[in-house]
Structure 1
Amino acid sequence: MSRHFDYRGRWALVTGASMGIGEAFARALAGRGMHVVLCARSADRLAALAGEIQARHGVRAAVVAADLSRPGEAARAWAEAEAEAEAGAEGPIHLLVNNAGFGLHGRFDELPADRQAEMVALNCTAVLQLAHLALGQMRPRGSGGIINVGSVAAFQPVPMKSVYAATKAFVLSLSEAMAEENRGSGVRILCLSPGPTPTGFQAVAGTRVQLGQPGVLTAEAVVQAGLAAFDAGKTQVAPGFANRVTSTFARMLPMGVAARIARRVNDSR
């Protein structure tokens, strides 16, 4: 699959759209002529971004405020996004960007269990539910796409980010399996696996990164690499040379060795 995806005049749902990679996706897709439904918890921030996107790109931008870690919120967000798209007469949702997520830094037994369970709910369960709803609409009509935002942390166990890395391993495995199941269906699936990216994510995760460190790219560069891979029909991409090398060699190493290396890298940061 190499034909470019048909963006112009279609609708996209972008989760985690209020900042970072999600915001960069919303801007980039609007720049390609897509109407966007922006989903995150912060209604005020989303409304400001929607107004800016509409004024700059001349597309429609709708807001769905939702906490996707809570039961039932993914289904509600999808239903509201579909309603927005259909009301604009350009529906249905043609592209889902599953970007919402967060991480935590610390020893597994010292981090609150409830907070880690919330991470699983957002990073895994919401991704699963939204992708399932999207495929239920896209596959019968033979067109559409899903971009699941994972992480280079998916490729090995990561001490001090144990649950986060495990959630992203889930996203990677799910995405690759979905891509194979839908080969030839007209629906393309991509797992985008960024390395460290300077966004609001680090404030929540309790980590710090800055441009110039190996593998660190801007959110805009991550999104452009992701969309290029999506257009090319790829099923997985880790933007940046250092991240491609890391993800490739991590899969070749014994898991215990990969975990020890990841621990040293994490400690250095």
Structure 2
Amino acid sequence: MTERVTLITGASAGIGTELARVFASNGHRVALVARRADRLATLAGEITARGGAAPIVIACDLEQPDAGTKITAALAAAGVEVDYLVNNAGFGLFGRALELDREQQLGIIALNIRSMTDLTLRLADQVIRNGGGILNVGSIAGFLPGPGMAVYYASKAYVLSFTEALRGELAGRGVRVTALCPGPVPTEFQERAGFQPGFDSTILNVSASEVAKAGYRGLMADRRIVLPGLGIKIVPFLLRLFPRGFILAAVGRFQLRKR
């Protein structure tokens, strides 16, 4: 029988690292994917030291078009199949879209959208065959238009829409499909995006560890969407109370005030 693994992208930091720890602590053998091989090796050593199965380390830049081919080849070489796929890798940039670097913004699309879609389509047959699940890490941003982080917000709207549609298509196939949509989380994301956490981070903040635990529980319970933290849970409800134009203007004023 082919050994099964949980593939986690963006595992070298933040929520991805915590997801690896949570899955490993619950008996999953994990395959860790990110650019930084040294961090992956350190995490793999930690998991093994705690009694977990030795992780598979796949150092790979997911922004590159051939990333999916490299990952599937590494899994085949290790003689494993994926039963759980965790598409966590992603980044954003803060600022006005027309003022930010075009290539970097296209990189957001390559990582947050193309890579997630590619891996899902490549590995879905394995997930279905093994009766596992797919956890796509989105954001509360996916529910909103985002002046000040336009491409990032749009990318997370794609993650949410794609995940919900895939869940509908796979209904009855014995596969869990869940979107994990956290609010502000204190990780390296903010530094790379180019802004300092503000009042929203203070009142909506949930740690990366708690987000990962909520995501794992939600996936295993086959929940459609997981919104970690009490503050975040009310956001979709509040959005139904106001016109889209009002939300657009309010988010724009709030976001651009961070400049």
Could you state the TM-score of these two structures normalised by the residue count of structure 2? 0.93
Amino acid at match of 2:16: G
How far apart are residue 231 of structure 1 and its match? 1.7
- Distance in 2 (CA, whole Å) between partners of 1:137 and 1:253 is 42
* Residues 145 and 154, structure 2, Cα contact 8 Å, conserved in 1: yes
Give the secondary-structure state (helix, strand or coil) at the position aligned to 2:62. Answer: coil
Query: What's the C-alpha RMSD, in Å, of the aligned pairs?
Result: 1.7
1:15 is aligned to 9
Structure 1 residues 100 and 71: CA distance shift in structure 2, 3 A: same
Structure 1 residue 202 corresponds to structure 2 residue 190: yes
Q: Count residues with an aligned counterpart.
A: 255
Task: Give the C-alpha shift of residue 154 in structure 1.
Answer: 0.4
1:254 to 243, 247, 251: 243
Q: CA deviation at 1:214?
A: 1.5
2: distance between equivalents of 1:82 and 1:27?
A: 23
Deviation at 1:10, TM superposition (A): 4.2
Percentage of pairs with the same residue:
41
Moved over 6 A (4+): none
Q: Deviations over 1:132-163 (max 9, x none)?
A: 11212222x26111100000000010110000
Instruction: Name which of 227, 232, 237 aligns with 2:216.
Output: 227
Residue 66 in structure 1 maps to residue 66 in structure 2: no
Please name the residue that 2:36 is paired with.
42
1:6 matched to which residue of 2? none
Instruction: Measure, in 1, the Cα distance between the counterparts of 2:210 and 2:66.
Output: 33
Distance in structure 1 (CA, Å) of the matches to 2:151 and 2:203: 23
Change (3 A) 1:105 1:212: closer
Counterparts in 2 of 1:142 and 1:32: CA distance versus 1, 3 Å: closer
SS in 1 for 2:202: coil
Contact 1:144 1:187 in 2 (8 A): yes
| 1:29 aligned residue (23, 29, 39) | 23
Q: Is the 8 A contact 1:75 1:130 kept in 2?
A: no
Aligned residue for 1:81? 75
Contact kept in structure 1, 2:25 and 2:52, CA below 8 Å: no
TM-score calculated relative to the size of structure 1? 0.90
Code of the aligned partner of 1:125:
R
- The gaps in structure 1 that reach 5 residues or longer are 1-8
Q: Distance in 2 between matches of 1:53 and 1:168?
A: 30
Structure 2: segments with no counterpart, 5+ residues:
none
Residues 189-238 of structure 1: CA deviation (Å, up to 9, x unaligned): 10100100000111100122279711111000101111121121111111
Rounded Cα–Cα distance in structure 1 between residues aligned with 2:63 and 2:206: 27
Q: Secondary structure at the match of 1:110?
A: coil
* 1:44-123 alignment runs, 5 A limit: 44-84=38-78, 86=79, 91-123=80-112
Q: Which moved more, 1:247-256 or 1:176-185?
A: 247-256
